[in-house]
Amino acid sequence: MPDDIRVLIRSNLDIVKARQEGRALAARTGFSATDVTLIATAISELARNIVSYARQGEIVLGVVESANAKGVTIISRDSGPGIRSIDDAMRDGYSTSGGLGLGLPGVRRLVDEFIIESVLGRGTVVRVTKWLR
Amino acid sequence: MEVPILKQGRYLIATIQAALSDEDLLQFRRALLDRVIQFRSRGVVVDVTALDVMDSFATRTLRDITYMIRLRGADTVIVGIQPEVAFAMVQLGLTLEGVATALDLEEGLAHLEQRARSSS
């Protein structure tokens, strides 16, 4: 989509940038203060995974609209090592980088839709959507 | 983005004033520990009212700071976690186990006073 906001993620400084862009977009779209914070937090965790596991990648933010719904979509894309077992990665408490291991299952709880695709040695794409209610 | 740390008697008051990067948070951790040692502080209040996001890294760093300061024999209180930030933290599964929290600076200082009285 032409209006998408693309934030390159190369260091921890870009995490702050991505979530500020997401916060502004969510507020413009009409989300409540609580939902804006949930969206910003989800972006922070997704961008953090890029920095921790893949070193670099991108966060793409966009507005989605269907006949009776509007929302914000966050796509996190990297060309990192990929995830060996998505089932494991989606379990609370699982981590391969010495982190808290709460990243992905936590993010799934913050949003309405969560899709993850990962290919070993090729990278990972996470696409999440939060709908306006 | 440096976090100002004020000395008030036996206590330190650190007020986070804007979104912090990971580097800023680690720099803040070092600066706060240095001050605790320098002033032999008995307690620390960390005001996070201005933080619009507390993700896994920020939560872990604040918890680490509290544990490190406790090993120096001092107490830490985190104050001013915004309601929507608290909501997001719980949804994300983040906890501040073993870390004292209070509504605002005033209540944070009152908590430290109470702790000082009960341990003396």
Taking chain B (120 residues) in runs of 10, the rounded mean pLDDT of each run is 93 95 96 97 97 94 96 96 96 91 97 88
Q: How does pLDDT run across A72-108, given as a tens digit for each residue?
A: 999 999 999 998 888 888 887 655 544 545 478 899 9
Residue B79 lies in a domain: yes
Give me the residue spans of the domains in chain A.
5-131
Burial group, residue A94, by CB count within 10 angstroms (0-12, 13-18, 19+): middle
What residues of A are in the B interface, CB distance below 8 Å? 12-13, 15-16, 19-20, 23, 33-34, 36-38, 40-41, 44-45, 48, 92, 99-100, 102-103, 105-107, 109-110
The percentage of residues in chain B with a pLDDT greater than 90, rounded to a whole number, is: 89
Q: Write down the ipTM of this complex.
A: 0.91
Place of tokens 């933010």: A61
| Order of strands, sheet of A123-131, starting from the edge strand that comes earlier in the sequence | A5-9, A57-65, A70-78, A123-131, A113-119
Nearest-by-Cβ selection for B93 from A20, A92, A99 = A92
CATH number for the domain formed by residue range(s) A5-131? 3.30.565.10
Residue B56 lies in a domain: yes
Instruction: Looking at the complex, report in whole angstroms how far the Cα of residue A119 sits from the nearest Cα belonging to chain B.
Output: 25
Instruction: Give the count of domains, chain B.
Output: 1
Instruction: Looking at the complex, report in whole angstroms how far the Cα of residue A85 sits from the nearest Cα belonging to chain B.
Output: 21
B19–A110 C-beta distance less than 8 A = no
Instruction: Report whether pLDDT(A1) > 60.
Output: no
Q: What is the CATH number of the domain that holds B63?
A: 3.30.750.24
B93 and A CB contact within 8 Å: yes
Q: How does pLDDT run across B85-102, given as a tens digit for each residue?
A: 999 999 998 989 999 999
Nearest-by-Cβ selection for A48 from B19, B20, B55 = B55
Size of interface A-B (CB pairs under 8 A): 70
B19 and A CB contact within 8 Å: yes
Instruction: Report whether pLDDT(A2) > 80.
Output: no
Burial group, residue A103, by CB count within 10 angstroms (0-12, 13-18, 19+): buried
Going from the C-alpha of A107 to that of each of A101, A118, A131, B116, the distances in angstroms are 11, 16, 15, 39
| Predicted local distance difference test score (pLDDT) of residue B2 | 87
Instruction: Report whether pLDDT(A67) > 80.
Output: yes
In order, the DSSP letters of A53-66 are IIS-EEEEEEEEE-
CA B97, B103, B105, B107 dihedral sign is: negative
Please give the mean pLDDT across all residues of chain A: 90
Instruction: Report whether pLDDT(A15) > 90.
Output: yes
